[in-house]
Structure 1
Amino acid sequence: MPSAALAHPPRWFTASQLQPSPSDQVHDWLFVNQDSLTQRLTTLSADNFSVTPLSEGWQRMRNDECAALGVADGSQGWVREVYLRGHGEPWVFARSVSARSALEGSGLALAQLGTRSLGELLFSDHAFDRGELHACHYPGACLPKEVRAERLWARRSCFSRGKLAILVAEVFLPAFWAATQIER
């Protein structure tokens, strides 16, 4: 991850804190629907949905991620970055993190997901509770080079099961908005 991404992490807001508010259609994708984004993208793509892993492994988490997970700044975590694709196009960049201290010994093998959606796993395990959704304009410096752009809408929430917490951020890429025909 570029060092600029660590210096300027995203600033996340609840729906009531987000100013100016997005359009109703954008708001719906960011906050209204609590169901699995995987399911919504599968429906939108008429079952032409896939996951492309970009990177995963132990690394230092960003300070905003550490704060959301309630661990010390600079903590190690499992970081997984993927594209959620519709019709082969990257529609969403997803970044999921979990603190090493909570993940080790949890029995959850994130390293074995491969091309399976993490959302599919989290929503199929009813022991996970989903926290409040937050949104922001995601910093371009935090995105992969090939999709880097400024002011892309993103949302994130924390899924927890006992002491295990997984923070999932989803950045809606321009091809997604083109597919939905929603002005962002």
Structure 2
Amino acid sequence: MPDIHAHWLPADALPAPLDPVLHAWLYEDRGSLTQRLTELADGAFGVQPLDEGWQVLRDDECQALGIPAGSAGWVREVYLYGGERPWVYARSVAGREALVASGFDIQHLGSRSLGELLFSDRAFARGTFETCRYPAAWLPPAVRQEGLWARRSCFSRDSLGVLVAEVFLPAFWARAQGTACPPGQRPV
């Protein structure tokens, strides 16, 4: 299997300006994405856990967390729903050593939002947003397609970093823009 890489970029490193709606959702920090999605969905928000457990983290995740390549960590993958459709695929990771030492309970969230937990603990500081076109091979088969926009940021508390990546699915953009998906994306 060939190496798959994502080219994560901060807003000031993008080669061209983004559509204002796209920029607002990818880079503007208006607090919890959970809260923003709940408002957009008129309260019909939900979390569907897909997979979670200890795994070897991807190299880009290790680099963002400042831990050695090939490190193990806790991985949580979920869909964030607006109404009956998945709007966002989210992958959150934390290095094993720092997570165990911190006592932060990321392992028993179930269908609760990680965002609610992170934003309720004022000791966490959110880092800078980075975006990319997320590699299709990293997505669940049901929503796999090339070119979907994603953002990520790292929440830090003492030596613990929790890296949260959020991939915006076509059904989300249709609702957020009130029209079609961003160019190059097809509805799911």
Bin for the TM-score computed over the shorter chain: over 0.9
Mapped pair 1:86 → 2:86: no
SS in 2 for 1:121: helix
Query: Which residue identity is paired with 1:48?
Result: A
Aligned residue in 2 for 1:12 = 8
CA contact (8 A) 1:9 1:142 kept: no
2:142 to 143, 146, 149: 146
Aligned residue in 2 for 1:47 = 43
Distance between the aligned counterparts of 1:34 and 1:159, measured in 2?
15
SS in 1 for 2:11: coil
Aligned residue in 1 for 2:186 = none
Query: Which residue identity is paired with 2:19?
Result: S
Q: How far does residue 179 in structure 1 lie from its aligned partner after superposition?
A: 1.3
Distance between the aligned counterparts of 2:28 and 2:104, measured in 1?
28
Query: Which residue identity is paired with 1:29?
Result: W
Aligned residue in 1 for 2:31 = 35
Q: How far does residue 9 in structure 1 lie from its aligned partner after superposition?
A: 2.5
Query: Which residue identity is paired with 1:144?
Result: P
Mapped pair 1:123 → 2:119: yes
Q: How far does residue 34 in structure 1 lie from its aligned partner after superposition?
A: 3.4
Query: Which residue identity is paired with 2:116?
Result: E
Aligned residue in 2 for 1:173 = 169
Q: Which runs of 4+ in 1 moved over 3 A?
A: none
Deviations 1:44-96 (A, max 9, x none): 00110000000000000000000000011010000000000000210000000
Aligned residue in 2 for 1:101 = 97
Distance between the aligned counterparts of 1:118 and 1:105, measured in 2?
19
CA contact (8 A) 1:9 1:62 kept: no
Q: How far does residue 20 in structure 1 lie from its aligned partner after superposition?
A: 2.8
SS in 1 for 2:23: helix
CA contact (8 A) 1:78 1:100 kept: yes
Tell me the TM-score normalised to structure 2 length. Answer: 0.93
Q: How far does residue 36 in structure 1 lie from its aligned partner after superposition?
A: 0.5
CA contact (8 A) 1:81 1:93 kept: yes
Distance between the aligned counterparts of 2:17 and 2:4, measured in 1?
22
RMSD of the TM alignment (CA)?
Answer: 1.1
SS in 2 for 1:112: coil
Q: How far does residue 139 in structure 1 lie from its aligned partner after superposition?
A: 0.7
Q: Relative contact order: is structure 1 or structure 2 higher (C-alpha 8 Å, sep ≥ 6)?
A: 1
SS in 1 for 2:101: coil
1:77 to 62, 70, 73: 73
Aligned residue in 2 for 1:114 = 110
**Matched residues, number:** 180
SS in 2 for 1:132: coil
Distance between the aligned counterparts of 2:28 and 2:78, measured in 1?
23
State, as a whole percentage, how many aligned pairs show the same letter: 56
Aligned residue in 2 for 1:137 = 133
17-26 or 169-178, which deviates more = 17-26
20-29 or 161-170, which deviates more = 20-29
